[in-house]
Structure formats: structure tokens, C-alpha cells
Amino acid sequence: PSIQHSHIRLPSTQYSHILLPSIQHSHIRLPSTQHTYIRLPSIQHSHIRLPSTQHSHIRLPSTQHSHIRLPSTQYSHIRHPSTHHSHIQLPSTQHSHIRLPSTQHSHIRLPSTQHSHIRLPSTQHSHIRLPSTQYSHIRHPSTHHSHIQLPSTQHSHIRLPSTQHSHIRLPSTQHSHIRLPSTQHSHIRLPSPR
């Protein structure tokens, strides 16, 4: 805790517990983690995934069975709840649980996820792209058996094509359940629904 201007690399970790609160201007990389629990609250200008981050850049590809909680982040590049102007990239995740409520002006990318659970309610001016996901609980394009919940969004742009048996809003969905209440000035594209 309480590290400043630090560079940390932690690849290929298994069943690890990591706590890194109150870090500033840190760069963290944690790819190819399995069954990891990570909590990183109150960081500023950090390159990593964690809660209450400001102006942070985070990359977490190829994670399996990971639990991540990242609330009250501002201007962060990562998946987080209550993120403001955030950029998130989380490709090729499996069996991951992600919570991202009350995000503003956030950019989130989550392609090729399997059996993931994602919650993103009360988002404003958000751009979300989620292609080629399977059995995911999240908004994504090309999702299979996915569950998505995105209530009370304002001025949001969502693209979700070629999904099967998903619970979400998106184009070319089959047997899908979508819930999007209290949305204002939202742009949604859902072509060729079956």
C-alpha cells in the first residue's frame, strides 16, 4: 500500500490474493492470472485494475476465474464500477465476474469472454463494444447464452451483433432476454433479430 511512481509486473499468478490500495502514478500488468482475487482501491494516475482509480490505464487479458471489484474510478482505463471517462480493455477472459455500475463517459472493450458476469447500470455517455463472447452475463456482440443488465443509461452507444441465447440488447440475437429501462437519448442497433 501507499506506493508512488512504481512499476509492478505480476504475470502467470495462480490462486493469488493481492491488495494494493492508495497507490499513485503506478504501472501494473497482470496478464494470464488464474483464480485470482485482486482489490486495489483509491489509486490515482495508475496503470492497473482497481477501485477508485483516477486517470488510470489497466490491461488484464487472458484471465481465468478471476474476481475483480473496481468502484468509484475516474478517468481510468479499466473495468470498474462508477467510472468516469474510463477506458477499459479486457479481452479473452474466462469465468470472470465484473461489476461496473454508475459509469460516465466510459469506454469499455470486452471481446472473446466466456462465462462472464458483467453489470453496468446507470451509465452516461458510454461507448461499449463486446464482440465474440460466449455464455457471458454482459452486453456484448456475438455473445452466446449471455445475461446483460443496463438500466438507466443516458446518451449511450451500444453495439452487440450475432448473439445466441443471450439476455441482453444487441443485433442478431437468438432466444435473448434484454432489459433496458429508463434510457434517454440512447443509440442501440439490433438488426436481424430472431
The pLDDT value given to residue 178: 38
The band of 117, judged by pLDDT with boundaries at 50, 70 and 90, is very low
Q: Where are the domains of the chain?
A: 5-9+14-76, 94-185
Q: Are 31 and 61 in contact (CB under 8 A)?
A: yes
Number of H helices, E strands in the chain: 0, 22
Per-residue pLDDT tens over the stretch 20-75:
433 443 444 443 333 344 433 333 333 333 333 333 334 333 333 344 433 333 33
